[in-house]
Structure formats: C-alpha cells, structure tokens
Structure 1
Amino acid sequence: MKNMKRLAVLLIFILTVTSFTGCSKKEDSSKTTVTDEDNTVDTDKNNNNEKESDTSADTDKEAQKNDSEELPDFIIEDTDTTITYINPMGNEQTVTKNPEKVVVLMNSILDIWYLSGGEAIARVSGSTNVPEAAKDIEDVGKVNAPSVEKILSLEPDLVILSSGRSQHVEMEDILKDNNIEYAYVDVSTNPYDSFIDVLRIFTKITGRDDIYETEIKELEDNVTTICDKVKDEEKPNVVILFGSSKYVKAQLPNGLVGNMVEMLGANNIITDAPVKNSSTVDFSLEKILEEDPDVILVVPMGDLEKVKTRMKEDLESNDAWGTLTAVKEGNIHYLPPELFHYKPNARYPEAFEYLAKILYPQVFEK
C-alpha cells in the first residue's frame, strides 16, 4: 500500500516538473520574440539612419553645388531672384534680377549693361559708348543733370547710376520714396578692375552667367596674356598728360591710362594725388625734367589740333622740353580717344595691346 502511495507521489512530482519545464520553454520563446521585435526596431532605426544620412548627403551635395562658384567679396548673397552686394559707397544693396524696364544714367555704364545681356528703356544724352541697340531709346537728359521727372514717369523697375557723380547720389532718396530699385556702380577708379566687377554684378542681375564665363573670361585672358608678355622686360618711365584746349594735366595711376600703364608694369612718374579720388593733377615741368621719362603719352580731350596747340603753349615752348629723352627719341604719342579717353570696355584687349606696343616695342617687333 505504501508502495502504491509512493508511486502516486512520484507521478505527481514528474507531472509537476514537466509542467514547469513547458512554461519555461514558453517564456524563452516569448523572450525570443521580444528580441526579434527589438531587432526589427533596431533595423528600422538603421534604415532611418541611412535615410537621414542620404538626406544629409543630398544637402551637402546641394551646398557644394551652391558653393562651387567663388563670388567676389563685394557680392554678399546671390539667390534665384536677387543679388545683394556692397556698392561703391560702402552700403549694402539688394537688386531684383531680370528687371524689364531699366534706365541707365551713364553711357559708359550703359555699354557694360548691354555687354552683360541687358537692355534699357532710357539713357542719358550722347553718342560715345552707346550700343547700337540703345541709340534710339528714350533720352532723359545730360549725365550731370538727368531729368528726375522724366525718369519717374517711365516707372522703371531699375535705375542704374554712377556713385562718382554727385547728381546721381542725390537721387537716392527720391528713388526710395517712389519705391524704385536702383543700383550704384563705379567705373572711374581703377577702371579695368571696376569694369570686371561691374560686369560680374550686371551678369548676375541679367541672369547671364554664361556671358561672364565665356566672353568676359576670354576678354580677361586676352588682357592677361598681353600683360604677361611684357612682364620680364625693362620697365620704362612714363608720364601721362591729359590735354584739352584749355589745360594740360597729368594722369595718375588710378586713371584709365594710368591703370593700364601700371598693369603693363611701366612706371608712372606722377603718383601724388592731393585731391582724394582724383585721377588727374596739376604738375610742374620741373618734375618731368627731373624724372626724364622714356615715354610721353598724351590723352586728348576734344579737338586734337587744339590739344596740340595747348601742348605747344604750355610745354613745348620751353627750351628745356627739347632736352627730354622722350622728346629727343620721338617717343611722344597722342592716344586715340575711343580707346584711352572713353571707356574701351569690350575693346580693352585692343587698348592694352596698343599701349604695350608703345611701351615695349622690342617685344612686338620680334
């Protein structure tokens, strides 16, 4: 009997152990499922990380694309619709791109505007530096006295002005009050660099980067080639005389010809500027005699014969004039105004080559 009870107890014990073992397996199975779910979550996280990484990479690529063009320091921001730059007066200026109605208040600037793919509805009087396509557009008066009333009546989207003219600077408040956008530029100081800088601004406004990257880059390359061609030559001493029927002055290195002479490596013997931003100064014959230049360049303004008469009266009548090396060797050159008095713009390579042949004849006679 006792044996029967012991057997019953043993059976109950076996059944109990088996039951616990089964629960233990279910719990393990449950843990495995949870672990798999965790792995699934982790996999999702990994997928999300990969997506975030891809998005980040795309953003980086876009940023690299936007940063691929190296803009000059004076351009602060270039967006699809506007360009913001520091104008020559030191002020931040934002201009909306692709304006339809443009008025340009200086013809040498007008010429650069058209080189940049722009068009205008009005300009100032005159014929020099006026593109063929702009000859018959509206005339709004003289460069130093434009008609504000006429400009406002045209309701322009953009007015382009010269920061070097006080009459233009005085128009700023009027244009602001009438909600008319305007852009100040300067092409008078260090003219060649200013010319390139203004082209960069204008091609941004017109949306014609293609012009800057092809035609303008080619122009720059041609000028650089000419300058490089003479860089190892002995540098001549030069005086640049700016002559009219009324006076003769000397041009400084920041003037149109002075800038080109400097880029070609020659030495301008007149460098002092008593008046800030002036490109011409009064001079003494004694200074020229002291420095004894190798080359004398004359930039005529107005009638050439009247300029020559003024030169004779002011300089050549002095006996000491004939002692100058440049005079004795026949190195006095009257420069064509279309290249050296007015802005050459697209003809800059031609102007540089013309001047280089005078300053370094030995290079171009080879």
Structure 2
Amino acid sequence: MNKQAILASSFVLLLMAGCGAASDSGARTSTHAQAATITVTDFAGREVTVPYPPARIIALSNGDMDIVNALGGNLVGRPTSEAETELSHIEEVGTTHELDLEKITFLRPDIVLGNAVLNAKDASMIESIGSQMVLTEANSVSDIQAQTRLLGKILDQSAKAEELVQTIDAKILEMQNSKLASQPRVLMIYGAPGTYLAALPNSLSGDLLELAGGVNIASDYPELDSYPHYAQLNTERIVEADPQLILIMTHGQPEAVKDGFFKEMQVNAAWNGITAVKNGQVHVLPSDLFGTNPGTKVTKALDELHALLKDVN
C-alpha cells in the first residue's frame, strides 16, 4: 500500500472514531439532561414514577406534611387547618376530604401526597395537571414508620428516615419498659359536633392506646361499614365495661365537641355512674396528636397517653 493510501485509511479511521465519540457524547448529554426519576409502590399498591428527588411537594394530611418537613423536603402546599403551626406560612390547599385543585395547579407540585382510601379517585385528576399523586395512610404506628421510609426513599433521605423510625422504636421500647401498675380501662371517642364514634384497636388511636398500656373497652365492638376503624357508641356496653378513662379526639373545635359530648351524657343518666365520669377523667386530646396522623410526633402522642394512663393508676 502506498503512502497516500495509508494516509487516506488513517483519515477514515479517525473520522469514524470521531463520529462514534460524538455519538456517545450525545447519548450521555441526552441522558444527563433528562430529570432523574424513581419508581415506588405507594400504600394503594400503585407503582408511581416521580422526580428524584421532587423539588415541590404538596401534602394533604398533617402526617405527610410533618414527615416531609422532618426529612427536609420542600413543601409548597399543606392541608387546611384551624390550628397554627410552624408551617402556617405555607399555602393551604384543602384536605384529603376536599382538595382545592385550582390552588394545587397554581403551585405546580411535582408530587401530591394523599390518602390511600380518600384520594385514590383524585389520582388521574392530579396527573392531568402534570403532577403525580403518591398515596399513603396510617392506621398504626408501624404504618407511620412505613410512611416515613417511603417518603425518605422518594426524597433521597433514606438514612434520615431510618433515624426517625428508630426514634419511634425507642419510644415504644420505653413504653414497654415503663409498665403501669395496672392497665386502665379506656374508651376512646372520635368526635365532631353531633357525631361520636368509638375508636377500635385497628385504628391509629387504638394502636397507640395499646402501646401506651391501656385496655380498649370497645375492642369487640362491630366496625362500621363506612368507617371500619370505628364503631357506634353503645351506652349499655360502656356502662357495663365501666371505663376509668374517657378520651375524646377531634380535628377541631375541641370545646364544642366536649360540650356536645357532655350534653349527650346528660340525656342518659347511666353515664353518671361510670368511674371515668365520677372521677373527672374525661379529657379532650390534643388535635395535632390524635385528631389526625401526627407523623414523627407520634412519640409525643405516646407520652401524652402514657401520662393520662399513669394518672388513673
């Protein structure tokens, strides 16, 4: 092969190598330009692909809001609430029961955190505005821990999430090591003006009561079809069980709920013979800890319950 042929062949090889390099570089740039994503399975069993990590987050429940805040996520929307909190400056967007789509659209969230039962119907609507809905729920302390791990994974904060989970485990162990002299009989009531239901063991509050060392007198009450974690109050059975402590939970208007409950009791004089009523052991629990999922503040909820139970002993 003459010199000119060798030079020509070398040039072709260099050109091909250059094209290949340019092609590889272009592929890397394209991949780099695409936003990173992660696919997770939410509490409704849905596989959801979301930005990793999401830059703008809306929470429709206090529990999700608290956990995202504890993990350092950027909240741009929060549940509407009567209570003032450290996050009150964040825009309110409604609740799991009734969300404000106009506000949510305006805030351009990457993800919206909703309830697995209440907001499954809203997922397609949220997707239509270019966001993704991730569904969670908390009917037990272990649910809150799983919720924390899921959000930690989404936010690229799994290590921090595990720290929060371990803090809850430590509080549970503390409860187990601080056994009460006896296990008080307790009636836990979820109340709204005119509506009062007994919390069952399969509810978050029922789980908290058991972990704190109390006995739920409504443990064998039949669950409601529409609210499977609660039961109708049965005055005859309540009087028979004679609770030593009656605890009332509410989302808001605690005094109105308590006054309404006392009026309900006055209608039936049998309530006056119950130990809890005679001893003044009827209390409205803090709404941020018991009227809703408290998120990482579940440790404070356990402390609150344990102190009330100890006072009865």
Q: Please state which band the TM-score falls in when normalised by the shorter chain.
A: 0.7 to 0.9
* Partner residue of 1:171 out of 116, 122, 125: 122
The Cα shift of 1:305 comes to: 3.6
Matches of 1:356 and 1:322, distance apart in 2: 25
Partner amino acid for 1:285?
T
1:90 aligned counterpart, secondary structure:
coil
- TM-score normalised to structure 1 length: 0.66
* Partner residue of 1:221 out of 156, 162, 170: 170
Matches of 2:59 and 2:159, distance apart in 1: 23
Q: For 1:218-250, what per-residue CA distance to the aligned partner results, in whole angstroms no more than 9, with x for missing partners?
A: 2431232123322x7532221112333323322
The Cα shift of 1:143 comes to: 4.3
Structure label with greater radius of gyration: 1
Partner amino acid for 1:171?
D
Query: Retained in 1: the 8 A contact 2:79–2:95?
Result: yes
**Which residue number corresponds to residue 354 of structure 1?**
304
Matches of 1:339 and 1:178, distance apart in 2: 33
**Which residue number corresponds to residue 315 of structure 1?**
265
Residue correspondence of structure 1 range 1-366 to structure 2 within 5 A: 82-85=38-41, 87-126=42-81, 128=83, 131-132=86-87, 135-141=88-94, 143-165=96-118, 168-177=119-128, 180-187=131-138, 189-190=139-140, 192-230=141-179, 233-271=181-219, 272-275=222-225, 277-361=227-311
Query: Retained in 1: the 8 A contact 2:64–2:295?
Result: no
The Cα shift of 1:284 comes to: 1.7
The Cα shift of 1:147 comes to: 3.5
Matches of 1:307 and 1:175, distance apart in 2: 34
- TM-score normalised to structure 2 length: 0.75
Query: Retained in 2: the 8 A contact 1:248–1:310?
Result: no
Matches of 1:220 and 1:361, distance apart in 2: 24
Q: Displaced runs of 4+ in structure 1, greater than 6 A?
A: none
Query: Retained in 2: the 8 A contact 1:203–1:211?
Result: yes
Matches of 1:117 and 1:105, distance apart in 2: 17
What is the aligned residue count?
276
User: Bigger relative contact order, structure 1 or 2, given CA contacts below 8 A and separation 6+?
Assistant: 2
1:296 aligned counterpart, secondary structure:
strand
Give the unaligned 5+ runs of structure 1: 1-79
Q: How large is the RMSD of aligned CA atoms in angstroms? A: 2.9
Matches of 2:98 and 2:214, distance apart in 1: 38
Partner amino acid for 1:344?
P
The Cα shift of 1:202 comes to: 0.7
Matches of 1:304 and 1:121, distance apart in 2: 28
**Which residue number corresponds to residue 13 of structure 2?**
none
Pair 92,249 (structure 1): closer, same or farther in 2 beyond 3 Å: same
Q: For 1:162-184, what per-residue CA distance to the aligned partner results, in whole angstroms no more than 9, with x for missing partners?
A: 2231xx32222234455533311
**Which residue number corresponds to residue 39 of structure 1?**
none
The Cα shift of 1:345 comes to: 2.7
Q: For 1:61-97, what per-residue CA distance to the aligned partner results, in whole angstroms no more than 9, with x for missing partners?
A: xxxxxxxxxxxxxxxxxxx952422x22233334342
